[in-house]
Every structure is written in structure tokens, then in C-alpha cells.
């Protein structure tokens, strides 16, 4: 037993395995505007690709060649539109806010969905390089822009600001902030309830952004660690277990988590905005 432990410790000692390096973001093109750091790094490049892919995908699927006898492409587009409309928007937004906020919620869903999916396609966008035939080539790696708290926090902030703007626009300042307090609360409890409600508004911001961020981070980490087990134990025998395990995690992430997280982010955004437009009392 002790011999085995020593062997493991030795194996771990000799190899440098740092899966977290995948999430380092050194600046590739340094841009500083006053106190703002607008440098281009890996996450920014992934965001560009994601934004471009979202626009191209949505234009391709819905914007031309529509007919009364729909092609397969048009059927898929209509099914996606219908899914967003019936599952996300109509269940959570009041009818008078649907026309204003349907585009936002649908874009949010498609943008996050495609960003997440791109995160599981190995792309030659990486900080490390290797030499092949005398050429310096970036190593192929998986990285998701949504596995970065800044990206998800920015998206959550848009929802957060939109929520309160809509609440105030539809109910007035007084009416909106009064609606935060549950009906029928005795006056003596107000000093306890008001801070709680204010905190819960900010907790939404944290939970919305951290949920997406941590899900994607944990998914990528799991795949990297599974494959990294081979290098930690520096033995190919581990690959018999590690590779199938990594593939299983990969399939779970691509088949379920990617879509669910985009769906939940869009649905919660719609619920928050809908709740502000039409408070329950």
C-alpha cells in the first residue's frame, strides 16, 4: 500500500499537469483606454466567432427562400422559433411585453447556445503553440467564452438593467419598488423584509451569471481532468478508463447541459422581466 502511494506521489511529482491553464487569458493584442482593459484575448476571439456564427445561423435558417411548402431548413427554423415562443416567452412574459422582449430573449437563447456549442468544438485558438514541419501552430483546445465570469456577468447585467427599467416604465418608480414587498406584511417586519428583498434582487444577478459560468467551467474541467489522469499517473493503462469517461462527460455536456443552460438563462431572463412588468399585486 505504501509502495503504491509512493509511486503515485512520485508520478504526480514528475509531471506538471495544470488543467486550469486552459482558462488563463493573457492579452494577445493589448488595448488600454484609461483604466479600461480592452485587450483582445482568447475569450474575446471566441465571442467574435460566437457572435458571427449566431448571426449567420439565424440569417441562414430564417431569412430567405421561405415558401408555403417548407424545406427541411425552414421546418427546423420554425420549430426553433416555436420552441422559444411556446416554452420560454409565452409562459413567462405578460402579453403586453411579448412584442418588446421576444427578440431579446430569443437572441439571448441562440447566442448562449451557439457560444456553448462552439466551446466543445476543438479549435486552433490557444495560448500554446507546437511546431509541425517548421511551422508554429496553435494547439487545438476546447474553451468556451461562457466559461468566463466576465462574459456571463455582462449578459446577466443586461437582463438586470432591463428588468428594473421595464418595472419602472410600466409601474412607475413608487409602484415598482412597492411591489418588491410582499402584500400583507405587518409594518413592524418591514426593516427585516426590505433588506432581504433588495439583497435577493442582487442575488439574482449572481445566480444567473454564476450558474452558466460554473456549469461550463466544470464541464470543461471534467473533460480535461479525465484525460489528464493519463498524464498524472503517466501510464497508458489508465486510458482504458479515462478516455471513455471523458467521452461520456463530453456527450452529456453537448447533448444536455449546453442546451439546458442556454434555455434556463433565457427563461429566467424572461421570468425576471415579466415579473417586473406585471408584479403579482
Partner 1 sequence: MSVLLAAASGDLPKLGKAIAFGVGVGLGAVGAGIGIGNIFGSMIQAVARQPELRGELTGIQWLGFALTEAVVFYALLGGLLAYVLV
Compute the least distance from the CB of residue 207 to partner 1, in Å.
7
- Give kind and range of the element (H or E) at residue 187: none
- 65, 71 in Cβ contact below 8 A? yes
Angle between helices 72-83 and 42-62 (to 10 degrees): 110
Q: If binding is defined by CB under 8 A, does position 126 make contact with partner 1?
A: no
Q: If binding is defined by CB under 8 A, does position 153 make contact with partner 1?
A: no
- 81, 226 in Cβ contact below 8 A? no
- 167, 155 in Cβ contact below 8 A? no
Compute the least distance from the CB of residue 188 to partner 1, in Å.
32
- 275, 204 in Cβ contact below 8 A? no
Residue choice 148, 159, 261, 269 for contact with partner 1 (CB under 8 A): 261
Q: If binding is defined by CB under 8 A, does position 27 make contact with partner 1?
A: no
Compute the least distance from the CB of residue 200 to partner 1, in Å.
14
Q: If binding is defined by CB under 8 A, does position 204 make contact with partner 1?
A: no
Give the span between the Cα atoms of 91 and 275, in whole angstroms. 12
Cβ neighbours of 213 (radius 10 Å): 21
Residue choice 98, 153, 214, 245 for contact with partner 1 (CB under 8 A): 214
Q: Indicate the residue among 125 and 254 with the shorter CB distance to partner 1.
A: 254
Compute the least distance from the CB of residue 237 to partner 1, in Å.
17
Residue choice 112, 144, 147, 267 for contact with partner 1 (CB under 8 A): 267
Site string for partner 1, 65-104 (x = CB under 8 A): ----------------------xx--x-------------
Where in 228-257 is the site for partner 1 (CB under 8 A)? 232
Q: Tell me what percent of the chain is helix, strand and coil, each rounded to the nearest 5.
A: 75, 5, 20
Task: Supply φ then ψ for residue 131, to 5 degrees.
Answer: -100, 130
Compute the least distance from the CB of residue 126 to partner 1, in Å.
23
**CA nearest neighbour of 167 among 158, 178, 157, 156:** 178
Which residues contribute to the site for partner 1 (CB under 8 A)? 5-6, 8-9, 12-13, 87-88, 91, 207, 210-211, 214-215, 218, 232, 260-261, 263-264, 267-268
Amino acid at each position: 500500500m505504501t509502495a503504491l502511494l509512493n509511486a503515485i506521489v512520485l508520478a504526480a511529482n514528475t509531471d506538471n499537469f495544470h488543467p486550469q491553464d486552459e482558462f488563463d487569458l493573457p492579452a494577445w493584442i493589448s488595448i488600454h483606454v484609461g483604466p479600461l482593459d480592452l485587450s483582445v484575448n482568447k475569450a474575446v476571439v471566441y465571442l467574435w466567432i460566437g457572435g458571427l456564427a449566431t448571426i449567420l445561423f439565424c440569417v441562414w435558417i430564417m431569412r430567405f427562400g421561405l415558401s408555403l411548402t417548407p424545406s427541411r431548413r425552414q421546418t427546423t427554423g420554425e420549430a426553433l422559433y416555436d420552441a422559444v415562443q411556446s416554452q420560454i416567452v409565452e409562459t413567462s412574459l405578460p402579453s403586453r411585453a411579448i412584442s418588446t422582449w421576444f427578440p431579446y430573449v430569443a437572441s439571448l437563447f441562440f447566442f448562449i447556445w451557439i457560444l456553448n456549442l462552439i466551446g466543445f468544438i476543438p479549435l486552433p485558438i490557444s495560448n500554446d503553440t507546437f511546431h509541425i514541419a517548421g511551422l508554429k501552430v496553435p494547439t487545438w483546445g476546447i474553451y468556451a467564452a461562457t466559461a468566463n465570469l466576465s462574459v456571463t456577468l455582462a449578459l446577466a447585467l443586461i437582463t438586470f438593467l432591463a428588468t428594473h427599467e421595464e418595472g419602472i416604465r410600466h409601474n412607475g418608480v413608487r409602484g415598482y419598488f412597492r411591489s418588491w414587498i410582499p402584500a400583507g406584511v405587518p409594518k413592524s417586519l418591514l426593516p427585516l423584509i426590505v433588506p432581504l428583498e433588495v439583497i435577493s434582487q442582487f442575488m439574482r444577478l449572481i445566480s444567473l451569471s454564476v450558474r452558466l459560468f460554473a456549469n461550463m467551467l466544470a464541464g470543461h474541467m471534467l473533460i480535461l481532468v479525465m484525460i489528464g489522469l493519463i498524464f498524472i499517473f503517466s501510464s497508458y493503462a489508465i486510458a482504458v478508463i479515462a478516455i471513455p469517461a471523458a467521452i461520456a462527460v463530453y456527450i452529456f455536456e453537448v447533448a444536455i447541459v449546453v442546451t439546458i443552460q442556454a434555455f434556463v438563462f433565457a427563461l429566467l431572463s424572461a421570468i425576471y422581466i415579466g415579473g417586473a412588468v406585471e408584479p403579482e399585486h
